[in-house]
A and B are shown apart, each in its own frame.
Chain A
Amino acid sequence: MTHAGGYIADSRTRAIEWLPWVLAVLCYFIAPSYLPLGSYVLTMIIFALSLDLILGYGGIITLGHSAYFGTGAYAAGLLAVHLTGEPLLGLLAGTLAAGLLGLITGIIILRTRGLALLMLTLAITSLCFEVANKATTWTGGVDGLGGFTVQPILGLFKFDFFGKTAYLYCLAALFVCWWLVRRLVYSPFGASLTGVRENNVRMHAVGAPVYQRLVISYTISAALAGLAGALLTQTTQFVGLKVLSFELSGELMVMLILGGVGRIYGAFVGPLVYLVAQDYLAKQFPEYWYFGIGMMLVLVVMFARGGILGIIDTGLARLRRKPA
């Protein structure tokens, strides 16, 4: 896969990097009826960012990232049911629970590579799914976990019926995550992570602590996924089994690939395009929707390995070479 991302010498924020934020704020005023969808898109962007960190930069292929998303979602839900509906504590609980699971599983599975690693990520997700499915007294099983209320944020901003608060809440969370991931990717740590992706053997040879780097990035990524899961729980006030499913991992991967792997903003573009298209098409033509998604994946792999942003990059480069 051709990756555009990685270490760059000048990591100051370019002007165009403010574009997503301007658009997101504009959306708040222009399309108030789409705010619930908007919150979902923002949540999935955080989730996709977390996957991009390990897949796009670390080169870890995982089919089981929903394990951490789901853990975060259930942690926030259980906290709200049994202890307190304070949203920031819920986010913290989701992040910590998923981060802890990420640390433990990361320490165990990142010793392996290739097919074994792929299988282990898949088995861990299946295991978590099965636990949530069968521990019905805690999780509600297939019926899902609901019936909890989320208190106002900081005791000031109530979650309203139109999803205005939820949208801004998600946007704020995404901003923090974006800042963190951006700092991480453009730091020396990010550079060594990219090095592992590009040439594992050489990184070992130059004495880089490869395993340690992978475990750290895996833990951070899991924690961010957990945060996204907790956000979903709080904005929808419900946790369904789907948050732990292999299908969700697959869908997430599709979104990230669509946007472009290994470039932070691929994680922004992919979920946006995918989820908006899904909102329009999937309900009317579910069969064609899935066929189209499959077709798109095959085409991206065959012809456009950088995703949408990759295509734009190539187009821009061509324009610059031949000024019209």
Chain B
Amino acid sequence: MQDFLSSLVSVAFHGLAYGMILYVISVGLSVTMGLMGFVNLAHGVFAMAGGYIMLSAMNGLGVPFPLALVAAFIAVALASMVLERLLYARLYTAGELEQVLFTIGLIFMSVAVARLVYGTLPQPVHLPDYLKGQLRFLGREFPTYRVFLIVFSISIVGLLWFGVERTRWGAMVRAAVDYRAMAQSVGINTSRLFTLTFALGSGLAALGGALGAEIIAIQPTYPFEHLVFFLIVVAVGGLGSLRGPFVAALLIGVADTACKYWVPEFGAFFIFFATIAVLLWRPEGLFGRAA
């Protein structure tokens, strides 16, 4: 019984850490899809780029961890702004198929570049000393870095929610998600809003990829391999909402960790099965509004 309880706590803890990372990466995707109706399969590319930037800054240039995180966020956000203006913006009115193909093309290109620059092996992660080791809490040991991950992600989520629910920018985003034509006609510059929101979402993905580099290894096949999970978070959670993907990410994080711990012989089987069931029950996602 004691053993079971202890494994329960451990699964919940690690699942929570994984889920938070999934959320930080995927929330931008939810907003892009909800706001612009753009099927962006290349979202994982931004997360991978964030991971690579942070790791090469730390391993190659000796930049301290917090600064490397900031650098990853800013670099990817700026780069995605350029990408959005030059390429994405041309395809907002195009069909789903074009968007799917275009973003698959981006994945292929980024995988090739990553392989060319960094090789095929996963990048090593060297955490700073103050994040190594274990924290004692209620008579149990927890890895410090995971605790940091959870706390840090929660504060990002808190900021994001405040931004979307309480600020003028957030009100504009919500208005554009609800009714784009109406938002435009009351004078909101939706195309600038799109660019900024896209950059923020990509930056968050980069942050998530960098933070989670220790959990989800940074390697060239990253955008392909984890795409399914990012998409599941968004589709199950519901497009354009912040709360839906949060619940979905935590559910998936905990469920995936639990499956790997207790029934490794089934792999991710139950996750996919549950995804299919949820999408059939509510095609618009758990918290999505019917289209």
Contact = CB atoms under 8 A, between A and B. Distances in A.
A294 B112 contact: yes
A115 B39 contact: yes
Contacts of A288: 112
**Closest 4 interchain pairs by CB?**
A297-B105, A294-B108, A294-B109, A291-B112
B225 to A, nearest CB: 9
Contact of B268 (A130, A297, A298, A301): A130
Contacts of A295: 105, 109
B101 A301 contact: yes
Interface in B221-263: 224, 227-228, 231-232, 235, 239
Interface string B88-100: 0011001111101
A126 to B, nearest CB: 5
Interface in A89-113: 108-109, 111-113
A321 to B, nearest CB: 27
A119 interface: yes
A247 interface: yes
A245 B134 CA distance: 39
Interface stretch (A11-19, A230-238, A250-258, A310-318): A250-258
Contacts of A127: 269, 272-273, 276
A130 B283 contact: no
Task: Specify which of B224, B279, B284 lies most central, judged by the most chain A CB atoms within 10 Å of its CB.
Answer: B279
B113 interface: yes
- Counting contact residues on chain B (CB < 8 A from A), the size range is 35 or more
Nearest to B282: A116
A301 B90 CA distance: 10
B276 A61 contact: no
A247 B276 CA distance: 20
B101 A300 contact: yes
Contacts of B275: 119, 123
A254 B268 contact: no
Q: Say what secondary structure dominates the interface of chain B.
A: helix
A71 B152 CA distance: 44
Interface string B10-33: 000000000000000000000001
B98 A134 contact: no
A131 interface: yes
A246 B225 CA distance: 9
Contacts of A247: 224
B102 A115 contact: no
Given A126-B268, A127-B276, A119 B91 contact: no
Contacts of B122: none
B121 interface: no
B101 A297 contact: yes
B53 interface: no
A79 interface: no
A298 B113 contact: no
B47 interface: no
Given A113-B283, A119-B232, A120-B280, 8 more contacts: A116-B279, A123-B275, A287-B116, A290-B112, A295-B105, A297-B108, A298-B87, A300-B101
Task: Specify which of B109, B116, B231 lies most central, judged by the most chain A CB atoms within 10 Å of its CB.
Answer: B109
Task: Specify which of A113, A115, A298, A300 lies most central, judged by the most chain B CB atoms within 10 Å of its CB.
Answer: A115
Nearest to B269: A130
B266 A134 contact: yes
A122 B115 CA distance: 25
A298 B228 contact: no
A133 interface: yes
Nearest to A289: B112
Nearest to B239: A115
Given A246-B228, A301-B91, A290 B108 contact: yes
